Structure 1
Amino acid sequence: MYKFEETEIPSTDQGIMAHLDENLANIKEALGNPGDLAIREFKMGKPSLHKVAIIYINGLADKMIIGSFVIERLMENVHDSENIHPKEPSELFTYIKENILTVGTVEDITDWNKMLLSLLSGQTILLIDGYNHAIGCSAQGGELRAITEPTTEPAVRGPKESFVEALITNTAMVRHRIKSPNLRVEMMKLGKVTQTEVALMYVNGIVNDKLLAEVKERLDKIEADEIVGSNTIEEWIIDDFWTPWPTILKTERPDVVQGEIQEGRVAVFVDGTPTTLILPAIWIQFLHTAEDYYLRWQFASFLRFIRLVGFLITLIGPSLFIAFLTYHPELIPTPLLINLTAQRQGIPFPVFIEALIMEFTFEVLREAGIRMPRQIGQAVSIVGALVLGEAAVSAGIVSSSMVIVVAGTAIASFTIPHATMTDAVRLLRFLMMILAATFGLYGLGLGVIVLVAHTCSIRSFGIPYLTPFAPIILADWKDTLVRAPKPFLSTRPRLISQLRTKRTGTTQNLGPSSREHQTTNNQLKRDSNEP
């Protein structure tokens, strides 16, 4: 039998050589002589000619930038013998860096591994024969997805743009909204193999220093070969990975990131994914949407109430139906109980098995609709649900009342704005159904108590998950179940930003002054009395 042993990933510790041909050979060997590696060699400098090489990766670098601002500039100076005086390679290196290259960023690279990482990150490398330094030119490019409307967080009002897979584009979209010198962006690389770029964004002076230090410490502890997306980082840094509740908010909207970091939170951007992590996160955040702040406060509060009702229906709706029919039929009005009993005549399964079949069937249809091509996925989900539901009732497998309960629960689940919270409620719904089928309302009540106690015990980067309800912070209730008018949102969450909780002026002088108001009223009366 073969015996497999874990091996270390090979690394190159040699430095940049003085000989150009040796450097090029080492680069090809280190990268496995890839087909997308582009090398352009030529000579420049007088009176002695020096060999120069331009190296980049096709697809990661912008060929137009390289051609116009690097190669063309260098080739123009090849024929300009009056301006090219450096005799030594080191002098030519300095001359090129300071006088010829017109790209945005140019850096002097002396470390071999840093040169390879810069090359694989999309930079263009310039090497000169006889000198053991390299020039890194910022010419990243390639094909990128255009900025489009959000797909998982749509809104009728507000901005119609979402993050893309390019890290620099995402951070720039937030900077476009927060033009403050206190906005900080810290870059780091995670993943021993992937070397994925990760950016921390926060507002200096508002963010809690302890929170920021905790986030950096947890990110530094990540020891993984690959970081394939934001979910990998999430599972490494969350407080409790056994809880079904999401403790880190995910968003693809720049305006959501803007609002959250201005409250004192930290945003984590990951290169290659349009999903941004917001931390810490509390439970009530997952019932809020960006659209709440673009609507009038009365309607925004009404929509939050609808989401809360939808959350409760999704969590315990089928469980209540099972408990009432199985253990507590005396709590159902007599005419309704007679109709429900008549519908169940000939049904071969208990109420719990009937509900389990319908819920599982709907989950299969939902997953099938997501995985199928977009053109037919929605049609298959709708037609499949109608056909299967009608056929199941006609065949006597389930009752029509059970179809109504399951369909209502499914519709209510779509009112939860964040997919991570929806997934958690979908899992917990089956647990509540089992408790209701086993012990009735007593089991359901016990399950709710245990769930609330568990939720109270959760923390997200040191912040209680049920803040501001447990612990009770009345000052923060104005932006929880209801959304108070903007002038009254004068403070930031107390436990999130402990440095600068006040963010607006006083609300005592809102509206026109009494003298101005009286003058305006008198003027309106005179205008109305004029013929």
Structure 2
Amino acid sequence: MASFFKQKRQVKQREKKKEDESQSKSKTPDYIESSLSANLEIVKKKTGKSPDIIIRTLKIGQNQEIKTTILYVQGLIDNPSVTDFIIESIMKNPHLSKNILPLEAMEIISEDVVSLGGVERVTDWEKLFLTLLSGDSIIFVDGVNVALVASTRGGEKRSIQEPSTHLTVRGSREGFTESNGTNIAMLRRIINTPDLWIESMKIGTVTKTDVSIMYINGIVKEGIVEEVKKRLNRINIDSILESGYIEQLIEDQVMTPFPTLNHTERPDMVAGNLLEGRVAIFVNGTPFVLIAPALFVQFFQSVEDYYNRFDIASATRFLRIIVFIISIVGPAVYVAATTFHQEMIPTKLLVIVAAQRETVPLPAVVEALLMEMTFEILREASLRMPKAVGSTMSIVGALVIGQAAVQAGIVSPAMVIIVSITAIASFATPSYAIAISARIVRFGFIICAGMLGFYGMILAFIILIVHLCSLRSLGVPYMTPLAPLNPKGLGDTFFRRPIWAFKERPQFLTNENNLIREGDNQRPLPPESRGMKTSDGKKGEGNES
């Protein structure tokens, strides 16, 4: 029996030894070899002989005895850069047709032939594959254990278009694209200062996604930048496919329906937040840029507010707050009033509501939940349907289902009106993220109103406010400047003071040494105060000449 187990153990050891030997043979070496055929074999084995990995071999030297190979990925490179500046330059260079050594050929190609920026030498395979799959071209010379990396990144990219979210009547028509280089350049054109700093990193063990953070040195607090870096460096995941991955991995609070990071595809909106001391996070492959830290009041502000007069912007912001409250408590108020507090409804209106509800078999709370769920299903279906039929389906579906439900006596006409107004109100907020939060919280208010009436709604409001005050965004209180109260910051919350009154940046975001954003006496003055001629031809008293 002991010999049997000993024999079985020996068999397992031999199998493990064979497996280790096969893995060691298939393992990619750390550094590039001098043999061109061996290097190409490694590339083919590592990429699975993918057909989009193009291998172009040339022969140089007096007797065409030195082999040179150019590697690139089809679709990721700029074709003129490869054909005109690399291949054609190597073939036509007179120095490469003489009797030279492989190392000399590498020096000539590196210094004289390839007239592209960003040419560097690479010796390890990890960096070589990273640059190759990013769109760069690799040049091998037989007999040299070093490869050249030429910057030839290009390929098809989406052109700059008007953003599909955060639409405005007045303002820029440019929106971010899926390319980090293009997005960063758009910010460079807006903020022309060398203090606009950018730091890049690779996140994702498989995708190796380019992630860049942008901030204005001297304006942003160093603690905020360090916190962003620390949270990004802590991420250990195989893939980053959209900025939403980053948002979920670095947010402060997980169990909340409210967004603690803002996102946008408008360059002017990012520029405005950078000038206030925030940090922007760019993720390659998505047009949505993250802005951190984010505040609750920030989701009710539109970039267009700063382009219009302060009175118009303040009235619009106040309207958004009213609309947001309606989108949360609209159906709940109807349920509470019709179920528990009929005495609060005017008599004539109460008679009409009671007559409508006489044939409805469902309680008001069930009726509200049913209609809200139906409208949510229609809204989600319209988003997933093709554009040609999505809007038509949502409108026709809402009309047909609402009318049929009323005629069947399942719901009352008043409930259809309340739910419709609530659905329209949820679209009036500038941020789609906060609108989704209102849709989720709305169901909680309906349930509380159906259980305790207005007392349940008050309890739900207290819980909501306490929850909002407990949230943080990169350590900054979510309800700032309302809680904790910061009187200087109240001028840009639910109303907006004039541009000439924005003397200081937000203290909780900005470096203490760079709070001042504009000079004194920026308020517009009438002509006579500046010594100009008035309409009657007289000069103002301020002019002594």
Length-normalised TM-score, structure 2: 0.91
1:494 is matched with 507
Alpha-carbon distance between aligned partners in 2 of 1:440 and 1:47, rounded to the nearest angstrom = 94
Q: Is 2:391 aligned against 1:378? A: yes
Pairing of 1:12-23 with structure 2 (within 5 A): 12-23=28-39
1:45 is matched with 61
Q: State the secondary structure of the residue aligned to 1:477.
A: helix
Corresponding letter in the other structure for 1:314 = S
Alpha-carbon distance between aligned partners in 1 of 2:291 and 2:65, rounded to the nearest angstrom = 55
Pairing of 1:458-469 with structure 2 (within 5 A): 458-469=471-482
Alpha-carbon distance between aligned partners in 2 of 1:38 and 1:327, rounded to the nearest angstrom = 74
Q: Is 2:272 aligned against 1:259? A: yes
Q: Is 2:234 aligned against 1:206? A: no
Deviations 1:420-470 (A, max 9, x none): 111111101001111111111111101100110111011101110000101
Partners of 2:500 and 2:522 within 8 A in 1? no
Q: Is 2:361 aligned against 1:348? A: yes
Partners of 1:70 and 1:101 within 8 A in 2? yes
Partners of 1:12 and 1:113 within 8 A in 2? no
Identity within the alignment, %: 44
Match for residue 64 of structure 1 among 80, 83, 107:
80
Corresponding letter in the other structure for 1:327 = F
Q: State the secondary structure of the residue aligned to 1:184.
A: strand
Deviations 1:49-103 (A, max 9, x none): 42111000111112222112111111111xx25x765723222222211111122
Q: State the secondary structure of the residue aligned to 1:523.
A: coil
Deviates more, 1:507-516 or 1:23-32: 507-516
Deviations 1:103-144 (A, max 9, x none): 232111122100010001111111111111111111111111
Alpha-carbon distance between aligned partners in 2 of 1:515 and 1:63, rounded to the nearest angstrom = 63
Over 3 Å counting, the alpha-carbon distance change for 1:347 and 1:23 in structure 2 is same
1:429 is matched with 442
Match for residue 375 of structure 2 among 362, 372, 391:
362
Q: Is 2:497 aligned against 1:481? A: no
Pairing of 1:27-42 with structure 2 (within 5 A): 27-42=43-58
What is the total number of aligned residue pairs between the two structures?
A: 515
Over 3 Å counting, the alpha-carbon distance change for 1:63 and 1:400 in structure 2 is same
Corresponding letter in the other structure for 2:45 = E
Q: State the secondary structure of the residue aligned to 1:186.
A: strand
The alpha-carbon deviation at position 523 of structure 1 amounts to 2.0
Partners of 2:30 and 2:125 within 8 A in 1? yes
Match for residue 304 of structure 1 among 294, 311, 317:
317
Corresponding letter in the other structure for 1:335 = K
Q: State the secondary structure of the residue aligned to 1:434.
A: helix
Match for residue 116 of structure 1 among 129, 132, 144:
129
Deviations 1:478-499 (A, max 9, x none): 1111122211112111101133
Partners of 1:488 and 1:507 within 8 A in 2? no
Q: State the secondary structure of the residue aligned to 2:537.
A: helix
Over 3 Å counting, the alpha-carbon distance change for 1:518 and 1:173 in structure 2 is closer
Over 3 Å counting, the alpha-carbon distance change for 1:270 and 1:69 in structure 2 is same
The alpha-carbon deviation at position 233 of structure 1 amounts to 0.8
Q: Is 2:486 aligned against 1:470? A: no
Pairing of 1:44-443 with structure 2 (within 5 A): 44-46=60-62, 49-77=65-93, 80-81=94-95, 87-443=100-456
Partners of 2:533 and 2:539 within 8 A in 1? no
Alpha-carbon distance between aligned partners in 1 of 2:105 and 2:317, rounded to the nearest angstrom = 66
Alpha-carbon distance between aligned partners in 1 of 2:449 and 2:493, rounded to the nearest angstrom = 30
Q: Which runs of 5+ in 2 are unaligned?
A: 1-22, 541-545
Over 3 Å counting, the alpha-carbon distance change for 1:384 and 1:211 in structure 2 is same
Alpha-carbon distance between aligned partners in 1 of 2:36 and 2:526, rounded to the nearest angstrom = 75
Alpha-carbon distance between aligned partners in 2 of 1:509 and 1:351, rounded to the nearest angstrom = 55
Length-normalised TM-score, structure 1: 0.94
Alpha-carbon distance between aligned partners in 1 of 2:155 and 2:425, rounded to the nearest angstrom = 43
The alpha-carbon deviation at position 184 of structure 1 amounts to 0.8
Alpha-carbon distance between aligned partners in 1 of 2:490 and 2:294, rounded to the nearest angstrom = 16
1:523 is matched with 537
Alpha-carbon distance between aligned partners in 1 of 2:522 and 2:30, rounded to the nearest angstrom = 68
Alpha-carbon distance between aligned partners in 2 of 1:406 and 1:228, rounded to the nearest angstrom = 36
Over 3 Å counting, the alpha-carbon distance change for 1:518 and 1:268 in structure 2 is closer
Alpha-carbon distance between aligned partners in 2 of 1:90 and 1:449, rounded to the nearest angstrom = 75
Deviations 1:493-512 (A, max 9, x none): 11011332211111366426
Corresponding letter in the other structure for 2:516 = K
Alpha-carbon distance between aligned partners in 2 of 1:517 and 1:307, rounded to the nearest angstrom = 42
Q: Which runs of 5+ in 1 are unaligned?
A: 1-7, 527-531
Partners of 2:528 and 2:539 within 8 A in 1? no
Corresponding letter in the other structure for 2:187 = V
Alpha-carbon distance between aligned partners in 1 of 2:312 and 2:54, rounded to the nearest angstrom = 58
